[in-house]
Amino acid sequence: MPASVKLVTWNVNSIRQRMERLIALLARHAPDVVCLQETKVTDADFPAAALRETGYATAFAGQKSYNGVAILAKSEPAEVTCGFRDGADDGQARLIAATVAGIRVVNVYVPNGQAIDSDKYRYKLAWFPALAAMLRAELARNPALAVLGDFNVAPDDRDVHDPALW
């Protein structure tokens, strides 16, 4: 395992819309690993070839119009898995894990939850225990574990752009 690894996480909110900025980020900061959330493309439309041209290998799980997660790395991601693998995954592309340079990298895009009385909020509350169980299992197998992503948790007004709106 390297002495240090530069990790970046970014909710790109459409990789198609942010590709130019992503390539600039890769060139300027040269991170070892980048975790992207909300890529909003199917696997067939993920720009793996363009990213390989910049020196990054990719692992991704896409979904049309919504969700989507990806791991970009200077070295080839290995042991790539998607979802919780607990038999209860619902097809939402919100979690991907891969081993990169001896580190198990887990990239999550936690559900938003919206209003406290909504089905989406109940879904989010059920999602966290499943994530915790998956991370415990990953940590038991991989003591070098990095968890990155968009956690969609805002316990304080300063955690959101517009507190009155949210």
Positions annotated as catalytic residues are 109, 150
- The answer to whether 109 and 62 are in contact (CB under 8 A) is no
DSSP-derived letter for residue 62 is: -
Q: Which of 70, 79, 65, 80 is nearest to 50 (CA)?
A: 70
Query: Is the Cβ–Cβ distance between 44 and 38 less than 8 Å?
Result: no
Full strand arrangement of the beta sheet holding 7-11: 7-11, 33-37, 69-73, 57-61
